[in-house]
Structure 1
Amino acid sequence: MSQTAKAMTYSVLASIAIVFAWMAINPQPEMEYESGVDAPVVAEEVSTVAAFTPATVNAPESWRTNFARWNSGSSDEVPAWNVGYLTEEDEFFGISQSAHATTGWIDDKISPVGEPTETTVANHEVTRWVGDDDHIYLVAEFDHDPDALETVEQAEAPEPSESMTLILSGSMEEQTLHQLAAEVINQYR
């Protein structure tokens, strides 16, 4: 190897060592997670395009909204509302909702392990699943009039069914999940 190549190699290695040493000496500041997402505001916007009233939960101030978004269905042909919260104990509570749900969409959302069971939440029959992420998933179906909320944007979307599907999921104790699910389910009864 020529002297020029050796010098360049040593120079690059020295530069990399200096950068790593600088990063080790100066630890990164702890960043407090701020999502900046206001779920009720996003739900209000989504209500102009969804074939249903988007579900939310009355989250305490100590909770953080992890995400709140409308999936137009361009990739899976299932337009859906999705919102997720993190509790003060960093437990997750999520809502997925669609008037176009398919068995494949539900399976993709849950990634189920084992067989489902039937249970009742807020006097409404729901299907209980356990996902491969160890979260509990409660799937509820509701009758609804797909034309009741029709907007210009919805006219271009796939035809909604006469049922609306809610998938409520959580990593918390099942009793707490049922209480949160009851709050959401009661919005549609």
Structure 2
Amino acid sequence: MSDQQQQPDEPVVTPTLTAKQAKRANATVIGMLIATGITLAIVLLPVLLNPYQKPQVRDVDVQAIASEAAADAGYDPLAPELPDGWTSNYARWDSGVNSGVPVWEVGYLTPDWDFIRLTQTASANPTWISQTTGDSVVSGERVTGGTTWQLRDGADGEAHFVAEVEGMTVVLSSDADLATVDVLAEAVLRDLGETSQR
């Protein structure tokens, strides 16, 4: 007879857990569920106790800072009147120790949270303009407020308006749409016109 004789059907062995083993297995699952619940509670508690708050806007008084900077600048730094909802998060006089060109800088936030940087100087040169605009390339012109601005496109997506008005070079830099920058450009030109009449 062959070695591989057909064996009678063997009963299938089903593993059984003792009462203690079953209790331990259930305890592990329950413990895992409790630990997960506690972790979620710890994570969610601070979120629920601190509802979302709109970020605080730092709105500096550009006109006051400009008045203080005027003596160092030798001219009246720009502090244009802007529509409601516009704010400024900084305004400063930079004596040009690093760049060699003293400048007045203001950072504006529009009502839609677009950022526009205003830079003004009476001592511009081509190298400074290139550095201030991030080595951008001239892409055309834009007439705003009756003045022709040189339009430059930066590699980082920022657009730069550059104009020479009343002996000043003004650069407006932003990744906002051009119509939004136009609002600041027009306000700047009004301010420069008023300054020249003083």
- TM interval, shorter chain, is 0.5 to 0.7
Bigger Rg, structure 1 or 2: 2
The whole-number CA distance in structure 1 between the counterparts of 2:101 and 2:44 is: 47
1:67 maps to a residue whose letter is Y
Aligned match for 1:84, one of 104, 107, 111: 107
**Correspondence for 2:150:** 127
Report the aligned-residue RMSD. Answer: 2.5
Question: What residue is the counterpart of 2:187 in the other structure?
Answer: 183
Summarize deviations over 1:59-110 as a string: whole Å, max 9, x none: 3453331211000111111110000111222101221000111212111211
- Native 8 Å contact 1:112 1:129 kept in 2: no
TM-score, normalising length from structure 2? Answer: 0.64
Runs of at least 5 residues in structure 1 that lack an aligned partner in the other structure: 1-21, 144-162
Change in CA separation of 1:178 and 1:83 when aligned onto 2, cut-off 3 Å: same
- Where 1:47 maps in the other structure, the secondary structure is helix
What amino acid maps onto 2:180 in structure 1? Answer: T
Q: Which residue of 2 aligns with 1:164?
A: 168
After superposition, the Cα gap between the structure-2 partners of 1:26 and 1:183, relative to the gap in structure 1 and judged at 3 Å, is same
Higher helix share: 2
- Tell me: CA distance 1:175–1:31, structure 2 relative to 1, closer, same or farther (3 Å): closer
Matched residue, 1:75: 98
SS in 2 for 1:183: helix
Matches of residues 34-49 of structure 1 in structure 2 within 5 Å?
34-35=57-58, 37-49=60-72
Partners of 1:131 and 1:77 lie apart in 2 by: 22
- Residue in 1 that maps onto 2:13: none
- Structure 1 SS opposite 2:106: strand
Gaps of 5+ in 2: 1-41, 194-198
Q: Deviations over 1:131-175 (max 9, x none)?
A: 2332221111124xxxxxxxxxxxxxxxxxxx3101122332212
- Report what 2:31 is aligned to: none
Q: In 1, are the aligned partners of 2:78 and 2:120 still within 8 Å (CA)?
A: yes
CA–CA separation in structure 2 for the residues paired with 1:188 and 1:34: 27
1:25-40 mapped onto 2 (5 Å cutoff): 26=46, 32-35=55-58, 37-40=60-63
Percentage of matched positions with identical amino acids: 28
**Which residue of structure 2 lines up, in the alignment, with residue 9 of structure 1?**
none
Which position in structure 2 is the counterpart of 1:174? 178
Q: 1:25 to 1:104 in 2, by over 3 A?
A: farther
Residues 187 and 23 of structure 1: CA distance in aligned 2, closer, same or farther (over 3 Å): same
What letter corresponds to residue 170 of structure 2 in structure 1?
A: L
CA distance in 2, matches of 1:24, 1:106: 50
Q: Matches of 1:63 and 1:136 in 2, distance apart?
A: 19
Distance, in Å, in 2 between the alignment partners of 1:132 and 1:25 is 44
Higher relative contact order (CA 8 A, sep 6+): 1
Q: Structure 1: how far apart are the matches of 2:72 and 2:102?
A: 10
